[in-house]
Structure 1
Amino acid sequence: MSILYQNEHAGCFNNDRSEKPQIEVKKIVKGDTGILSLKDNEIVFITEGRISFVANDSSGCEGIKGQILFLPAGANYSFEALAHSTITIFRFYESIKLCDNFDLEKLYEKKALTNGYRVRTARFGTLDINAHLWHYLDGLNDLISKGMRCRNFFKIKIKELLLILRSFYTKEELHDFFSPILSDDTVFSEYVRLSWKNFRTVTEVANSMHMTHKQFYNKFIAIFGKKPQRWMNEGRARIIHNEIISTRKQFKLIAAENGFASDTHFTRFCKKELGKTPTEVRYGKKQVEENVK
């Protein structure tokens, strides 16, 4: 049975026609490869096949049918389909909250950690799809295949997903799954992860959180283990590198989208953080030198 009144749904402002909807079902052919630069946290369900993921820090994970992967925002990932695969992707535009009465921070509490939880710093979180989630996914994927792309529907289904995770997985399992983003102040760390790209300077980020520069600086180092400007520069460099090598965008557009006031500033940043000019990153230094001759 198809969706009734399809033209009305297609013309609704809540119909998600974006290239990356909040929930997406994708089929990937064996041998396909690509690069992901995540601006939001993603949960990926592998319902068919086998896919290899490698993060920018060289850590890797091979997901197979029946597994769930948690991919945190702020990193680049390369992937390769090792078999014909089908995945369902959930994109989280806001901080993840399992339910109204259970924030992720509760998984990090020292009391819980001393009761047998494993402290991890892995780039990937993994879970097995249980019977409840298979049932949930079957219904969801069927509706999406029939053209359901309503943003309100996606919000409801994401809330349902989180409630299923909260209800049918142990806190130990959820701790390990979400461990890449857990801290003793997940609200702070997730705000930074999801919002830092909207600001040019550390002071602007601090002001947006109603903190002094010193307060923000000290909390940032305690959680991320790096100076905030260095962390932001590394994150911006990863995004820029991915856009240069995996898109055909003009350098002026990439510079503008990443907050650079001029081509000169953009080129100087690339040389400092990537070791090459934008042209050398895209085409290779040797080819650029040959074209100059």
Structure 2
Amino acid sequence: MYNQFSQGQYFPAEKCTQNCMIFMLKGDLLINSAEYPGTTLHSNQIILQAIGSTMELLALTDVEYIVYRFTELPALCEERYKEILNRSEAPLTYTPLTAIPKLKYLLKDLAEYLREQSPACGKYIDIKCQELVYILTCYYPLPQISTFFYPISTYTESFHYFVMQNYDKVKNVEEFAHLGGYTTTTFRRLFKNMYNVPVYEWILDKKREGILNDLQHTKQRISAISARYGFDSLSHFAHFCKDSFGDTPRSLRKRSANGERITIICKEKAGEDNSGTKPADL
């Protein structure tokens, strides 16, 4: 997707529903994410954000960039890609990748095509994406590109990726298991083996993280946030927030606006949680 925005255009923090790469073509774009906190992207720089990560953007100048969203990368030079993932290690500090000349030419042609063609030819775009991935995986030094791909290295297994892509779309474990074609027993076992924590605890932790992010970094109505996370009433939502963060949703939002840093203070105990859903049903 080709994007062109004027200086001052702001995109509030939003969770990535797919892996995505941002290829800067022109201007300066401020990004704020866990991997790139307060980082300014310049022309010919590239970053990768994994599914589930949260990203906030601000155009410091007029900007042009291409966003490539994907579930899995095209199957090209698989041995090379496996080697890249096997060598991936978390860097001390994430640094944007710089486009090499071969990649610059491809991005320039692709941007011109996307500006001129509406709608774009899907097959042509698929071919260009394959070429893009080929250049990234085969023309960059292995240590450098391994660091670049680290954010998605933990999601290479299909079960991992399924969980990250769908955990916020389900209300309980049975629904989660059914969505993936698993029996509930098998799903619980696979999940516990992979994450070393029961499904309900993991989902509740993710729920807390999402609620806290929405209260602090978005202007969504309290009722909309409550409904999004499956609470059957605002009172249940308020109780959940008090137990998890120590205050009501409105108070938390006000405290955050005053510069206070809000944190999760506890985890749900066994029994019925305050959303009206029993953890055992999760």
TM over 0.5: yes
Name the CA shift for 1:273/1:28 in 2 (closer, same or farther; >3 Å): farther
Q: Are residues 1:181 and 2:152 paired?
A: yes
Confirm whether residue 38 of structure 1 aligns to residue 13 of structure 2: no
The reply on whether 1:131 has 2:101 as its aligned counterpart is: yes
Q: Give the Cα separation in 2 of the matches to 1:149 and 1:230.
A: 44
In the alignment, does 2:1 pair up with 1:26?
no
* Amino acid across the alignment from 2:130: K
CA distance, structure 1, for counterparts of residue 53 and residue 243 of structure 2:
19
Q: Any idea what the Cα deviations from partners look like across 1:69-97, whole Å, max 9, x if unmatched?
A: 011221223344444432221222x2334
Asked whether the equivalents of residues 108 and 184 of structure 1 are also in contact (C-alpha less than 8 Å), the reply is no
CA gap 1:265/1:171 in 2 versus in 1, 3 angstroms = farther
In structure 1, the partner of 2:230 is 259
Query: Counterpart of 2:106 in 1: which secondary structure?
Result: helix
Shift of 1:51: 3.1
Shift of 1:144: 2.2
Q: Which has the higher contact order (CA 8 A, sep 6+)?
A: 1
TM-score by length of 1: 0.68
- Name the CA distance, whole Å, in 2 between partners of 1:79 and 1:51: 7
Report how many aligned residue pairs link the two structures. Answer: 253
Take 1:125 and 1:195, find their aligned partners in 2: how far apart are those partners?
Answer: 29
Structure 2 unaligned residues grouped into runs of 5+: 259-282
Give the whole-Å Cα distance in 2 for the aligned partners of 1:100 and 1:34. 37
Give CA-to-partner distance per residue, 1:7-64, whole Å, 9 cap, x none. xxxxxxxxxxxxxxxx231324158574232222210111223333332588554422
Q: Which amino acid aligns with 1:215?
A: L
Please name the residue that 1:290 is paired with.
Answer: none
Give the structure 2 partner of residue 278 of structure 1: 249
What pairs with 1:1-293 in structure 2 (closer than 5 Å)? 23-29=1-7, 34-56=12-34, 59-92=37-70, 94-99=71-76, 101=78, 105-109=82-86, 113=87, 119-120=89-90, 124=94, 126-150=96-120, 152=122, 154-183=125-154, 186-202=157-173, 204-205=175-176, 208=180, 210=182, 211-221=186-196, 229-244=200-215, 247-284=218-255
For the aligned residue pairs, the C-alpha RMSD in angstroms reads 3.6
Contact 2:81 2:137 in 1 (8 A): no
Percent identity between matched residues is 20
Contact 2:222/2:249, CA 8 A, preserved across alignment: yes
Q: Look up the equivalent residue of 1:99 and give its one-letter code.
A: L
Runs of at least 5 residues in structure 1 that lack an aligned partner in the other structure: 1-22, 288-293
* Deviation by residue 1:214-254 (Cα, 9 ceiling, x = unmatched): 33212123xxxx66545433433343344445555443333
Which string of whole-angstrom CA distances, capped at 9 and with x for unpartnered residues, describes residues 77-122 of structure 1? 3344444432221222x2334538459554333xxx4xxxx62166
Return the letter of the residue paired with 1:45. F
Q: Please tell me whether the aligned partners of residues 48 and 86 of structure 1 are also in contact (alpha carbons under 8 angstroms).
A: yes
